[in-house]
Amino acid sequence: MTGYQPRHASAPSPRGHEPEGCLTVAVRLPVRVVMFVLVLPVRLVWDGLVAAGRAFRRGVLGPVGRALSWLGRVLLVTPARWTWRRLVVPLGRGLAVVFRWTVTALFVWPWAALWRYVLLPVGRGAGWLGRWLAAAGAFLGRVLVVVPVTWVHTRLLVPLARAVGRGCGLLGRYLFVLPAVLLWRHVLAPAGRGTGLALAWLWRWLVAAPAAALHRYVLVPLGRAVVVAVRGTGAVLLLLGRYLLVVPLVALYRWVLAPAGRGLALVVREIAAAAAVAWRVTGRVTAFLLRGAGRVLYVLLVAPLIGLWRHVLAPFGRVLRGWVWQPVAAACRAAGRALRSAGYSVRSALRSARASVRSARAEIRRALFGVPRSREREPLP
């Protein structure tokens, strides 16, 4: 065939194009065989349960659910809907109208009348009276309080406060400010300059010079010696830690843990791949087995029932329907029509008998008592 390529040449490797070692090939085949043997019963049970669940859902749960739905609709939903539409909704509307009119008559109209005919006129009168009283009070307050207070403040308090302020300012200047300035200029300032020079000389030779000598000739050499000792100790500890801890740990990881991890990962990966392959293969096997079992059940159970229905029960039902049910139904319909017509005739005979009895009774009443006078209705005053 033109353009044909074998499957193993065209299908890509599931792990890429990396070459596989002999250990991988040696582990893969027994692992897959073992996984196939272990997975086959599980897949058979799983597929059997799935098929049984589907058959149960189609044959039992579906009809039962539809029957329950129909019963719920007939017994609950339809009566509840009719009750809601025919009873509850009209009753609720009537109660709502009655409640609305009752609330309006008991609460809205009395309060509206009270507000419109009592409170609103009283409030308007009180507002007019309040405005007039406020205007009168404002006028009286302005004439009796504001104008006198303003005149007192303008004509008396302001000039008096200005005179008092000027006098206090002159007294404070000549009694406090000028003596303080003279004291500072001629006494405190020269004394402060001399004291500052003496304190600076003492600070320089008693504190600064000893501290500088201590830092230069004691602390700096001591700090350098400490730094050298710390650096040497750190280098020694670094070498010891490297050759006593790091190198053994790196060797342990490189030559023991890493190969063991790769082997374990290889085993786990192959077990997972083998489980997937075994699951797919057992799925095909179980599908074949279940199809065979279904075919056997169909041949042994379903096909005889279908043949019985098709070749025995259905023709018998047609014969029964054509020769028994249809003639009986036609006879029943004819009898019903005859009974209905007989009932109509009986009802008409009864109506005519009642009419004749009424007429005879009226004739006897007229023969005994005469024709009754017709009473004319008088209009109401």
Walking along the chain (381 residues) 10 residues at a time, the average pLDDT comes out as 40 46 64 74 82 82 86 88 88 88 86 86 88 87 82 81 80 78 78 76 79 84 87 87 87 88 82 81 80 83 85 86 84 85 81 82 73 50 41
Specify the pLDDT at position 26.
63
Q: Work out the angle between the directed axes of helices 258-297 and 22-56 (0-180°, nearest 10).
A: 40
Residues 283, 43 contacting (CB under 8 angstroms): yes
Specify the pLDDT at position 24.
62
Specify the pLDDT at position 178.
77
The amino acid at 259: P
Specify the pLDDT at position 11.
43
Specify the pLDDT at position 370.
64
Residues 288, 40 contacting (CB under 8 angstroms): no
Specify the pLDDT at position 21.
54
Does pTM top 0.85 for this prediction?
Answer: no
Specify the pLDDT at position 4.
37
Q: Which residues of 182-221 are buried (b: 16+ CB within 10 A; e: fewer)?
A: eeeeeeeeeeeeeeeeeeeeeeeeeeeeeeeeeeeeeeee
Specify the pLDDT at position 155.
78
Specify the pLDDT at position 1.
38
Specify the pLDDT at position 232.
85
Burial of 47 (0-12, 13-18, 19+ CB in 10 A): middle
